[in-house]
Amino acid sequence: MAVLPVLSFPDPRLRTVAKPVAQVNDAIRQLAADMFETMYAILGGVGLAATQVDRHVQLIVMDFSETRDQPMVFINPQVTPLTQDRQLQEEGCLSVPQIYDKVERSTRVKIEALNLAGEKIEIDADGFLAVCIQHELDHLKGKLFVDYLSPLKRQRAREKVEKVVRQREKEKVQR
């Protein structure tokens, strides 16, 4: 397994619309394993879309467990709201480091996808899981949570992320 570089906002590659996975094969399973390794390496990461690691296929990984032993994989996910109820929930993103803000999302959704065995799965989700599914699905559509914010908040987020990325690069050079 490998820790993959995570793209940071405003990298234009984050706007790429992911293509469906044609076949669940060893390459897709390896990508999922690498994505889990990447997500686990970043403190606070609970979900990651392939787009964020510059692989533009419809693949999402998640694990909300404290012990990091309950991985979920969604390939070619389709999400359907199960209610018209919506809620504001604070979100953050590995591609938008150190930025958190509230986004309105559906409170309950159904996700249909394939698992790593290529089998169809279906989950009714609510609460935090529903929010995360919608957040990660947005990545596959080339959308970020900051797109839901006002232009002023989005610009401030961009400037802060660019500063964080510059600082990280500076620290890498000093090592």
Q: Which residues are catalytic?
A: 136
Instruction: Give CA–CA dist 61/48, Å, rounded.
Output: 5
* Rounded distance between C-alpha atoms, residue 53 and residue 44, angstroms: 17
Q: Is 56 annotated as a binding residue?
A: no
36 near 71, Cβ under 8 Å?
A: yes
Query: How many whole angstroms separate alpha carbon 137 and alpha carbon 5?
Result: 20
Where is 41: in which H helix or E strand?
helix 26-41
Q: Which residues are paired to 120 by β-bridges?
A: 114
Residues of each annotated binding site: 93, 135, 139
Q: Which amino acids are annotated as binding site for Fe cation, given as ranges?
A: 93, 135, 139
